[in-house]
Amino acid sequence: MKAPEFSYRRPADVETALALLAEHDAQVLAGGQSLIPTLNMRLSSPGMLVDINRIEALRGIEDRGREIRVGALVRHAEVLDSSIVGARVPLLALAIPHVAHMAVRNRGTTCGSLALADPAAEMPAVAVALDAHIVLRSRAATRTVPARAFFQDLYQTARNDDELIAEAMFPAASADEVFGFAELNRRHGDFAVVGVAAKARKAGGTLQSLTVVVFGCERKPLLSTRVAGATIDAGTSDQSLRDLANAIAEEMDPMENHQGRSDTKRRQGAILLQRLLQDMRKRAVDA
């Protein structure tokens, strides 16, 4: 199919881009890996596309001490190759190889994934697990929104139509943190049927302050409340980990679709969680 008619602008600076967003029925074009297909299928029909790819200020991955800045134009492939991300944001480094295929990672942007809020996408889940912050700019103001408040529903976020995600700020990991990431899909690179992202602090072979996010089958990333702050140590049995995983799965409200029934996804999530927690326990004990 052909895309509907639209105007096209390619500003050279952020201020011009923000003015266009404020004055027109416009959508932002960065990587275009989701936008272009939806245009061609006429699921999206903006009056204007604002192509931000010439704006140098939106590029770059920067180590700012406590936080790592990922600019709006940073491609997934850049995140994958970044030594800063590998050393300072390990959960993001674990998740990024699961994002689609190399052709998509070469063009798609991490902030674009956050903006789309696809329930099967890895980047929103990582942002919620790490309690990242998303910087939104409009012509009127700049505001920072916690990732845990940014994702509101299926493809719905706190971003207003006249706002641009300028950057995402990911907390830098401390030496005592352990991370885990896993997802189930039909083939590597396909959308996740169920996925989990987790972090905890290790102390003397014990995992403390457990944080778990489930994605893929939920309308938005699900931050578990039942196990928040749970402790796992060498004496925690496999049955106890199974019970913990089942408790998280009970919080799930999976969407039914061609990939399976809700009860099937809940069971898949529980098994994926149990394996992930076992792996994190082993790494904490062996460290």
Residue-wise pLDDT tens digits, 147-196:
999 999 999 999 999 999 999 999 999 999 999 999 999 888 888 999 99
Task: State yes or no: pLDDT of 285 exceeds 70.
Answer: yes
Residues 6+ apart with CB under 8 A from 106: 75, 76, 77
Whose tokens are 């902030």? That residue is 111
The model scores a pTM over 0.85? yes
| For range 243-261, the mean pLDDT | 93
What mean pLDDT value characterizes the chain? 95
Task: State yes or no: pLDDT of 269 exceeds 90.
Answer: yes
Q: Select the highest-mean-pLDDT range: 228-232, 251-255, 283-287.
A: 251-255
Confidence (pLDDT) at 189? 81
Q: To 5 degrees, how large is the angle CA 79–CA 198–CA 274? A: 130
Confidence (pLDDT) at 235? 84
Residue-wise pLDDT tens digits, 68-113:
999 999 999 999 999 999 999 999 999 999 999 899 999 999 999 9
Confidence of residue 284 (pLDDT cuts 50, 70, 90): confident
| For range 110-129, the mean pLDDT | 97
Confidence (pLDDT) at 137? 98
Confidence of residue 1 (pLDDT cuts 50, 70, 90): low
Confidence (pLDDT) at 26? 97
Q: What percent of the chain lies above the pLDDT cut of 70?
A: 99
| For range 27-34, the mean pLDDT | 94
Confidence of residue 286 (pLDDT cuts 50, 70, 90): confident
Q: How far apart are CA 42 and CA 55, in angstroms?
A: 27
Which of residues 181 and 227 earns the better pLDDT score?
181
Confidence (pLDDT) at 191? 85
| For range 13-39, the mean pLDDT | 95
Residues 6+ apart with CB under 8 A from 132: 126, 146, 147, 168, 169, 170, 171
Task: State yes or no: pLDDT of 287 exceeds 70.
Answer: no
